[in-house]
Structure 1
Amino acid sequence: MDNRSASLHSDIDTVLNNYDYDFAEVEIAVLGNGHINNTYKLTTPEVEFVLQQINHDVFPKTAELSSNAQKINLHLQRQKNIGNYPLSIPQQILSKTGETYSKVGTNYWRLMEFISNSYTLEEVESPEQAALVANAFAEFSCTLSDFPVEELAVIIEDFHDISFRMRQLNEAVENDLQDRLSSCQTLVNFCLDQQDFINHVIDISKKLPLHVTHNDTKINNLLFTEGDTPCAVIDLDTCMPGLLMHDFGDMVRTCCSNLAEDDTNIDAMIIKLDIFSALIQSYQNAFGTKMSALEKDSLIVGTKSVPFSLGTRFLTDYLNGDSYFQVSREKHNLDRAFNQIQLFILLCEAEPELIKLAMQA
């Protein structure tokens, strides 16, 4: 065992001492492929757990993060107990002192229930599967529609604020810290020229009600059971007050392109309209009358604004020297930016068809 592994096991042993369970015999295995938090599966002779080390560089509000998750889980459990929520809720395990997290040195950890025989998927493979994904995330926010959102902390300030993202881009362009502007001037100009769209996003955002939103609605943030049936929504780190259009837009962004978000072959990009149709119809139907007409209209806006905003964030990070998103090759963030802006362009071009599909719900 190398020094790093020994230190990790020592930290985990210290964390587990904070809980009222017998961890004398425990197997530890890496769980999932997340890029932010370190997550492990713990197996004892009696029970299985998930142990997660929260990345407090990305999530400095670690106490608020676990508090948000606790409030959400307890509300969902109450609704499940009276038959109003169909999915499982992996609860956080409280420490001996009643805390939702444990701190060892400068690191924050939390222990959670593990749902036996569950697994994650990385890609939506059919319209039927897309409908299940949209329904699960919609059930999550819909069941929380009567939760007082003001009780949740904002974990990442201005996360979906398009004005903030454009200010960041303008600042990066003005400073040009890495002398990279000349290599992406055309893309920068295109983004800055979208002011009419940006104004529309700002205007509609002011009129929409806040919900408890997940803010990372990828398929791999669902657990599935046999038959690829969703059984739980997981990874509540970014749950906070937000708009439904952003949750839906992120689903479309991650499910409806035929390319990975860093694929450079953007001329081959297409929108999977059959997947989009399944997503929007299932999402709207799950909410029923709890979604207003304006919120339904906003879903199409979110479909476009999420890849546009993320594209500008990738572009900003490229100009600033790749200080936020992890990169594995030269111009990786620029490739991502081109990819996401191409997705935005295709979604704008397809908007009449998207609206027609949305009206079929």
Structure 2
Amino acid sequence: MDKFNSSISQDIALLLTHYAYDFSQASISPLGNGHINSTYKLSTPEHEFVLQRINHDVFPQPVALCQNAQLINDYLAKQKLLNEYPLQVPKQLLSNAGDSAVKVNDYYWRLMEFIPESHTLEQVSTPEQAALVAQAFAQFSCTLSDFSAEKLTVIIKDFHDIRFRMAQLTQAVADDHCNRLAQCQYLVDFCFEQQAFIEQVISISDKLPVHVTHNDTKINNLLFSRASNQPCAVIDLDTCMPGLLMHDFGDMVRTCCSNLAEDDTSTEEMELNLDIFQALIINYQNTFGDKMTPLERESLIIGARLLPFIIGTRFLTDHLNGDNYFHVSRENHNLDRAISQIQLYKLVTQAEPKLRELAQYQLTKAS
């Protein structure tokens, strides 16, 4: 194997002995820009793979995480054979012992199929791209609507539970381990002032049906075909578990509808792209059809507000706690992210009457 400038190179060499491939001429390079796991492209003269070290601080049940992905992949692969699922299903490759995750020293790893002639995109630039994103993630969860979510392990408890996230922020404020509260007190105060919205979220969440949701529906968790520029696979199933459709839709709005990157500091220049929002909500609802209840349709607008708010509070909590969860690359990186997400929450809140018009337009069009 080519030398890889990392302290984990010996772990990788040991890991690869668990798989029935010839890695004697393998090369490895970083892949993607995820916040949590360490992901690499592994290439041999005959094959290409995705190699991933799972962050066990964020995902304390790495074996269950991989087992969830295996259950989902198996189900989707069967549906694809029946022409009920249009996208490719990237495989997790099993070890010689038949395991989807292999522990080497302190970490669990997994080896996955690399889809050739594919690429990822980092941001949505047109309503047409937004339509493709909404269709692909809706196809994923809609196809899984007949798969019992109860079969999946809850990988991160209370992942999108606003009560839990506000409790975390409350504790971080009380502790203020890093003496960072003074610089962001105004942002903390704003978050706690949103109690009416928090109660609205709690009320509707308790009434919605549970689905298998992706929970990280940004565009770079889709693979696009280089030949057609159409989505060809949904990837990064780490947070797939029982959830609500409004969470997945809200995360699409959060990651697709702002003109700025998640950590851009030019928040005064942030704009909400209503054309992209319209493409998202039309295509997400149309792809689900009657598998989405009227209350779920209504909840999508709440989700559009919720996800920027809840991710903003998570970035703020991590900043106060000393940047223990999300990868950071500069001072106050998580604070910058929090400011950006709360600004997006404000813009979505201000635009809510217009967003509801677009949602009502969709319901009229579909009828």
TM-score > 0.5 by shorter chain: yes
Cross-structure match for 1:336 = 337
Give 1:112's aligned residue: 112
User: Shift of the alpha carbon at 1:109?
Assistant: 1.2
| Counterpart residue number, 1:43 | 43
Bigger CA drift: 171-180 or 341-350?
A: 171-180
Instruction: Give 3-state SS (helix, strand or coil) of 2:302's partner.
Output: helix
Deviates more, 1:252-261 or 1:177-186: 177-186
Check conservation: 2:2, 2:28, Cα contact below 8 A. Answer: no
Q: CA 1:97–1:326 in structure 2 vs 1: closer, same or farther (change >3 Å)?
A: closer
| 1: CA distance, partners of 2:128 / 2:6 | 45
C-alpha distance in structure 1 between counterparts of 2:360 and 2:111, whole Å: 43
2:299 pairs with 1:295: no
The residue aligned with 2:314 is 313
- Partner secondary structure for residue 359 of structure 1: helix
Tell whether the 8 Å contact from 2:4 to 2:28 is kept in structure 1 after alignment.
Answer: no
Q: Deviations over 1:145-169 (max 9, x none)?
A: 0111111011111110100111112
* Residue 2 of structure 1, CA deviation: 11
Residues 172-191 of structure 1 mapped to structure 2, 5 A cutoff: 172-191=172-191
Q: What is the identity, as a one-letter code, of the residue corresponding to 1:33? A: N
Q: How far 1:129 sits from its partner (Å)?
A: 0.6
Shift of 1:359: 2.1
Normalization by structure 1: what TM-score? Answer: 0.95
Q: Which residue of 1 aligns with 2:287?
A: 286
Whole-angstrom distance in 2 between the partners of 1:50 and 1:187: 39
Q: TM-score, normalised by structure 2?
A: 0.93
Structure 1 window deviating more from structure 2 (147-156 vs 67-76): it is 147-156
Q: For residue 365 of structure 2, what is the aligned residue in structure 1? A: none
Distance 1:171 1:41 in 2: 39
Q: Deviations over 1:55-110 (max 9, x none)?
A: 22221110000000000000000100000000000111111111111111112111
Cα 1:54–1:207 change in 2 (3 A) is: same
Which amino acid in the other structure matches residue 301 of structure 1?
I
Letter in 1 for 2:171: E
1:318–1:27 distance in 2 versus 1, CA, 3 Å: closer
Deviates further, 214-223 or 24-33 = 24-33
Fraction of identical pairs, as percent? 64
Which amino acid is the alignment partner of residue 188 of structure 1?
Answer: V
- Distance in 2 (alpha carbons) for counterparts of 1:196 and 1:31: 42
Q: Aligned pair 1:57/2:57, yes or no?
A: yes
Residue 26 of structure 1 corresponds to 26
5+ residue gaps, structure 2, are 363-367
User: How far apart, CA to CA, are the structure 2 residues paired with 1:287 and 1:92?
Assistant: 27
- 8 Å Cα contact 2:19/2:95 also seen in 1: yes
Could you tell me which amino acid in structure 2 is paired with residue 300 of structure 1? I
Measure the CA separation in 1 of the matches of 2:337 and 2:53.
Answer: 28
The residue type paired with residue 263 of structure 1 is D
Equivalent AA in structure 2 for residue 313 of structure 1: R
Give the paired residue count.
361
SS of the counterpart of 1:184?
helix
Equivalent-residue separation in structure 2 for 1:241 and 1:296 (angstroms): 18
Q: 1:347 to 1:108 in 2, by over 3 A?
A: same
Question: Equivalent residue for 1:131?
Answer: 131
Measured in 1, the distance between the counterparts of 2:323 and 2:16 equals 36
Q: Is the 8 A contact 2:37 2:54 kept in 1?
A: yes
Using the TM superposition, name which of 220-229 and 44-53 deviates more.
Answer: 44-53
- 1:355 aligned residue: 356
Change (3 A) 1:229 1:204: same
Q: Measured at CA, do residues 41 and 162 of structure 1 come closer, stay the same or move farther in structure 2, by a change above 3 Å?
A: same
Q: CA deviation at 1:237?
A: 0.7
Please give the alpha-carbon distance, in whole angstroms, between the structure 2 residues aligned to 1:340 and 1:72: 31
- Offset at residue 179 of structure 1 (A): 3.2
Q: Matched residue of 2:361: which SS?
A: coil
SS in 1 for 2:119: coil
CA contact (8 A) 2:3 2:9 kept: no
CA distance in 1, matches of 2:238, 2:277: 26
Amino acid in the other structure paired with 2:312: G
Give me the whole-angstrom Cα distance separating, in 2, the residues matched to 1:28 and 1:264: 33
CA-based RMSD of the aligned residues comes to 1.9
User: Which residue is equivalent to 1:71?
Assistant: 71
- 1:165 aligned partner: 165
Q: Is the alpha carbon distance of 1:45 and 1:178 closer, same or farther for their aligned partners in structure 2, counting shifts above 3 Å?
A: closer
Change (3 A) 1:183 1:40: closer
State the AA in 2 paired with 1:271: L
Structure 1, 267-276 or 330-339: larger mean CA deviation: 330-339
Deviations for 1:251-272, whole angstroms, at most 9, x for unmatched residues?
1001101112222222211100
What letter corresponds to residue 89 of structure 2 in structure 1?
I
Q: Match of 1:21, SS? A: coil
Report the CA distance between 1:300 and its aligned residue: 0.5
Residue 255 in structure 1 maps to residue 242 in structure 2: no
Aligned to 2:80: 80
The 1:315–1:88 alpha-carbon spacing in structure 2 relative to 1, beyond 3 Å, is same
Question: How far, CA to CA, are the matches of 1:102 and 1:50 in structure 2?
Answer: 14
Distance 1:76 1:182 in 2: 49
Q: Give me the whole-angstrom Cα distance separating, in 1, the residues matched to 2:307 and 2:200.
A: 14
Task: Provide closer, same or farther for how the CA distance between residues 37 and 82 of structure 1 changes in structure 2, counting only shifts above 3 A.
Answer: same
